[in-house]
Amino acid sequence: TTSAATVTITGAAGQIGYATVFRAAAGALLGSETPVRLRLLEIPEAVRAAEGVAMELLDGAMPLLESVDVFDDPTAAFDGAEVGLLIGARPRSKGMERADLLSANASIFSVQGRAINEAAAPAFRAVVVGNPANTNALIAASHAPDVPAERFTALTRLDHHRAEAQLAIACGVSVNDVDGVAIWGNHSTSQYVDLTRATVRGRPAEEVLLEHGHDRRWIDEFFIPKVAKRGAEIIEVRGGSSVASAAHATLRHIRTWLRGTPEGSWASMAVPSTGIHGVPEGVVCSFPVTCSQGRYTIVEPWAIADFSRARIDRSVAELLAEREAVEALDLL
């Protein structure tokens, strides 16, 4: 075993948090060699529930779980944190305007950004799950001036997994046979699910889809909306939002970042743009990325087809509007 790592999980008493903490304590985040110290952050009203979660973790007698502590103070919660899973967020309540949602979350993520700046370990890395995830990551980064902004990322791995699974189903193959899907833009229904570089058993996915009777129009009118609206479909069928699949994607996001992507393959992560691919610098946008030795690299630009370009631009426009809205509220 290696030395223990400190992981701070916010919203730990919520649904995704509950599903995440157990697997993080069982090795799914950092591997079965690395013991973990979990620090759970909750709002005061949910601290008691988080203590219940901590009790259950103890009841698991989990060999890799070195300690578990519960906090309602962000600075204490992020003390020494090497990994932050920022899951907790203010949900949209009935009658709440978009600006109210942005501002409620901007206050949460600005406080957490400052706490991270003050207390986290130098190696700190974060994935934001709580929505609006991309903009929340931007806000946290802007309040943590001493932490490199590229350490604040947001989750689009669930969208990436959904695209892989749906592509495999459409081609009648296993997910192990598909590769190269990419999610661009915002973690919202404006996201662009890109199959132009995807492969099925090493062949261009669009070619294989065509053999199954699915043309470019099917990709546009059926496949892309299917992936983008999968969350709503889960709510309708399961009677509740995606929880275990979101927790799984959160764990995979960090694991890939730390452990790397397989040679020739990539994952999707929302990361601050370097100005690459025509996306304005600083905007937290989903890109295909390769990871190696704890660093991610946005894949080099390729000749993006016009129809892809328009869709990427549309989602980026939404991100820019969110950024302007928080700027207008003086929260950046």
- 183 among the known binding-site residues? no
CA dist., res. 263 & res. 179, Å (int): 12
Q: Are 205 and 167 in contact (CB under 8 A)?
A: yes
Q: Are 90 and 110 in contact (CB under 8 A)?
A: no
CA dist., res. 284 & res. 275, Å (int): 11
**Residue 134: closest CA among 266, 35, 303, 282:** 282
| Residue (35 or 231) nearer to ligand NDP, CB | 231
- 17 among the known binding-site residues? yes
CA dist., res. 85 & res. 252, Å (int): 12
Per-position x/- string for 227-266, each x denoting binding to ligand NDP as judged by CB under 6 A, each - no binding = ----x---------xxx--x--------------------
| Residue (74 or 272) nearer to ligand NDP, CB | 74
Q: Are 181 and 194 in contact (CB under 8 A)?
A: yes
Residues whose CB falls within 8 Å of the CB of residue 252, separated by 6 or more in sequence, listed in order: 157, 161, 267
**Does residue 116 belong to the site contacting ligand NDP (CB under 6 A)?**
no
Q: Which residue carries 């730390």 as its tokens?
A: 258
| Residue (102 or 133) nearer to ligand NDP, CB | 133
Least spacing, CB of residue 16 vs ligand NDP, in Å: 3
Site for ligand NDP in 77-96 (CB under 6 A): 87-91
Q: Which residue carries 């302007």 as its tokens?
A: 324
Residues whose CB falls within 8 Å of the CB of residue 147, separated by 6 or more in sequence, listed in order: 116, 117, 120, 124, 141
Q: Is 187 a catalytic residue?
A: yes
Task: Give the residue, chosen from 5, 7, 13, 25, that forms a contact with ligand NDP under the rule CB under 6 A.
Answer: 13
SS3 state of residue 132: coil
Contacting range for ligand NDP; rule: CB under 6 A; set: 15-23, 203-211, 295-303, 308-316: 15-23
**Does residue 154 belong to the site contacting ligand NDP (CB under 6 A)?**
no
**Does residue 107 belong to the site contacting ligand NDP (CB under 6 A)?**
no
Contacting range for ligand NDP; rule: CB under 6 A; set: 39-47, 170-178, 211-219, 314-322: 39-47
- 276 among the known binding-site residues? no
| Residue (16 or 163) nearer to ligand NDP, CB | 16
Out of 143, 161, 187, 277, pick the active-site residue. Answer: 187
Burial class (CB in 10 A: 0-12, 13-18, 19+), 243: middle
Q: Are 290 and 181 in contact (CB under 8 A)?
A: no
Least spacing, CB of residue 49 vs ligand NDP, in Å: 7
| Residue (43 or 149) nearer to ligand NDP, CB | 43
- 129 among the known binding-site residues? yes
Least spacing, CB of residue 307 vs ligand NDP, in Å: 25
H or E element in which residue 6 lies: strand 5-10
CA angle (216 as vertex; 310, 190 as ends), nearest 5: 40
- Residue ranges for the known binding site for NAD(+) are 11-17, 105, 112, 129-131
Binding residues for ligand NDP (CB under 6 A): 10-11, 13-17, 41-43, 46, 87-91, 108, 129-131, 133, 158, 231, 241-243, 246
**Numbered residues of the known binding site:** 11-17, 92, 98, 105, 112, 129-131, 162
